[in-house]
Homo-oligomer: A and B are copies of this chain.
Amino acid sequence: MGKINASLEGALVSINGVLTPPEEAVISIFDRGFLYGDSIYEVTLTYDGTPFLLKDHLDRLWRSAQGIGLEISWSRQKLREFIYDGLNKVDYDRAYIRIIITRGGGDIGLDPSLSEGQNLIIIFRELKPYPQKWYDEGVSLIVTEVVRTPKKSMDPNIKSGNYLNNVMALKQAKEAGAYDAIMLNHKGQVTESTSANIWMVLGDSYITPPLDAGLLGGITRQRLLEIGTSAGLKVKEENFTADTLRIAQEVFITSSTREILPITKIDGQPVGDGKPGTYTKKLHQLYKNKIKETIEEERKLNSGK
């Protein structure tokens, strides 16, 4: 267990509030998070050391918990404290923060009532900038035949420790030399990529699938719906198929860590003229402005405490 990947050097892990170096950050193999993926998680980040939209991420963590019938053993305040404890010990410009809550250990068995206490893991690591080339030239997607897990089986809007569906889809994308995969639902509608929401520009509209399609309600996605509407852009939630996506003028994906990433190829064919488009850039600029504003507000709130 002693070895750790070089990319994790300088990482820090909070285990039930105790800060631990990454090479010593371990969990019992009897933990349900390990045995069954019986856990929930969130990924958030900092800009210049300030956590971004932490409230939204904690709200979603609590919603995921409710989705798997878990009553979180810590208060939001306690979680915030643990997060700030960690952030105070690291000096990254930008931190990636992964919060995991497992249903804990106990006797072996699927029955969740066997759990004898949850475990809370918070991973802090440096969030290095993504290659500028991705943003300048866009990245490529494939449409995978791995169908996104249906809501009735395990709602993709719950961020849980069950990610093999997405792992298998991404594996296929990587083997095809693509950046990521577009996952469809059983009706053939577009849902999301393996770790981001998807958008297209058709005419003068920005369109992203509704939650009903079976996808994670991304926090960036939600903010973009709001920002777009405020700015008088036509943003809407509507179902569409991969065939429609292929004839879109522009396509992009959104996530907390990557913000807005242009997609310029789908299954090897160019999207539009094969370059990141003006609609994508415009929305990204609006989003960047919003990030600045939000960080300034959150700083004021924190310093006022």
Contact = CB atoms under 8 A, between A and B. Distances in A.
A246 interface: no
Contacts of A160: 164
A52 to B, nearest CB: 18
A165 B26 CA distance: 26
B28 A123 contact: no
Contacts of A105: 3-5
Contacts of A162: 36-37, 162-165
A237 interface: no
Nearest to A194: B110
Given A108-B125, A174-B113, A167 B25 contact: no
Contacts of A1: 26-28
Interface in A152-207: 152-154, 160-168, 170-171, 174, 186, 194-195
Nearest to A24: B28
A23 B145 CA distance: 42
Given A26-B1, A29-B27, A111 B146 contact: no
Contact of A168 (B154, B166, B168, B195): B154
A7 B150 CA distance: 36
B112 A171 contact: yes
B29 A152 contact: no
Nearest to A36: B163
A103 to B, nearest CB: 8
A26 to B, nearest CB: 4
Nearest to A160: B164
Nearest to A69: B171
Nearest to A6: B107
Contacts of A69: 168, 171
Contacts of A167: 32, 36, 38, 68, 110, 112
Given A28-B25, A108-B98, A110-B195, A37 B4 contact: no
A146 B67 CA distance: 12
A22 interface: yes
Given A27-B27, A110-B170, A170-B110, A152 B146 contact: yes
A226 interface: no
Interface in A31-77: 31-38, 68-69
Nearest to A172: B69
B4 A38 contact: no
A163 B111 contact: no
A111 B152 contact: no
B154 A145 contact: no
Given A27-B29, A149-B149, A153-B165, 4 more contacts: A7-B107, A23-B28, A35-B163, A110-B166
30 contacts: A3-B116, A4-B105, A5-B106, A5-B116, A7-B107, A7-B108, A13-B29, A15-B29, A22-B30, A29-B121, A29-B123, A31-B34, A33-B34, A34-B34, A36-B162, A36-B163, A36-B167, A37-B164, A38-B167, A68-B167, A68-B168, A69-B171, A111-B174, A112-B170, A113-B174, A146-B153, A147-B150, A147-B152, A154-B164, A154-B168
